[in-house]
Structure 1
Amino acid sequence: MSGRSRFLGVLALSAATALAVVATPAVAAQKQTKPTIVLVHGAFADSSSWNGVIPMLQAQGYPVVAVPNELRSVKGDAAEVAAALKSITGPIVLVGHSYGGSVISNAAEGNPNVKALVYVSAFAPEAGESAAALSAKFPGSTLGPALAKPVALPGGGNDLFIDQAKFHDQFAADVPAAQAALMAVGQRPITEAALNDPSANAAWKNIPSWFIYGTADKNIPPQAHAFMAQRAGSKETVAVDGASHVVMISHPDQVAKIIQNAAATATQ
């Protein structure tokens, strides 16, 4: 190879390397434009309730975090979720199931990174409203009779569980019986006080919201879901025909889809 050919080859290689160096940050920046999806579970469940939804979101390139929800009090639970949100850089789509809706309605308050709220069979309380009050606002909830004997807590108050024998029908009627039986054993209790805690904030007044719920929800009446969605000015409301309270387990594709719809607006 002549000296001129070698010189031209070095120039071409240098140019290609320079382009790669320039392109790499651009690709990285492009990947970072997707908002982080933060999932908050509800009462009588845990973060594994999102297991069907998480892979679908990750497959679309979304960073996903399922944060713990202690189910002790709206104020305390929201403070812990709010602390987790502060550790996340960039836009956030905050998703709550059931009582987790009360938590995200408070945790998002004052955090400019939270661009969208998604309520999955969840409470969206007004300031001063409790989960228990919203559930009783319309007929249809059969949660009370399905509860097991309360467990007295050492510091006062009670922990609430769903009776394992009634769990499948009450909580997850459209989930296979064997799976529901495991969920019943592993359910996380919620304090009676938490269900009666008045919400301090209603973040959905300032942050766009999306709603999805099942028409056969026995924990929160479907009428209550429709009422909360309309009141919040929901950008999209999906009522899944025949779905139970755990719509994210029985219909993870539809839940993932509405989360993606919300996320699509988070960076606009």
Structure 2
Amino acid sequence: IRVYKVAAVTSNYVYLISSFGLYTVNISDLNSPFYVQRIPGKRYGGVVVDNYAYTVDADGNLQIFDISDPANPTWVANSIYVSYILDAKISSNYLYLSTGDLLVLDITDPASPILEGSYTTPGTTGDIFISKGYVFSANGNTVGIYKFTASSVEQENQDLENAPRASSLEQNYPNPFNSFTVIRYQLLGRQLNHVTVKLYNLKGEEVITLIKGEQSAGSYQVIWDGKNESGEEMSSGIYLCILKVNNWQTSKKLIFLR
């Protein structure tokens, strides 16, 4: 098999991520390791925490498996949409995920993680390291330094009074597109948030409002069919999708090809 990542190593097992699944290999005898089982399906990263495996399936869903019996893993739940996992670290009861951006999950109940914080990094977040309460991340050409507090991730030396109350807005898929595209996002915390998802052209003119209202924490998606509020098909070009949550907002560029 082609191994992309070693998800975890315990006293008797090593867990391997590949394009064919999450493999468990018994290494109790290092001279004679042997294959135990495989959680099938293409995997885009993963991490093992105690008796649970968190791995991303081909649709970008963070799936949770109980591996207390390594030979017979059982599916527990699907959690948030994360696309892929590049790196993962654990500190106290929090799981820090590098997914291109930085996500923080509360895993006090490992079978039911809660998205507690996120930060849209200036580049694509790769390896992460945690020390003295700070998260250090490789962001392409820069190194990011972040501090996590309950329900927010703050970048050092930056005023984030209105810290992100939603995870980073995912890049729409497909992109470019010519008929429809799916826009996914997540909300944080345990309170209701006022949420809008709007599309604008590059002149700053509003094209359509896709979402407007109160939403609680969780994962959401909305489809745009390339039409404006009046149902008229827009011309080919680049459009800006803006997710606004309370007083915080983020955006992604969408490419529409007729």
Indicate whether the TM-score tops 0.5: no
TM-score (norm 1): 0.19
TM-score (norm 2): 0.20
User: Quick check: which one's helix share is greater?
Assistant: 1
Q: Which has the higher contact order (CA 8 A, sep 6+)?
A: 1
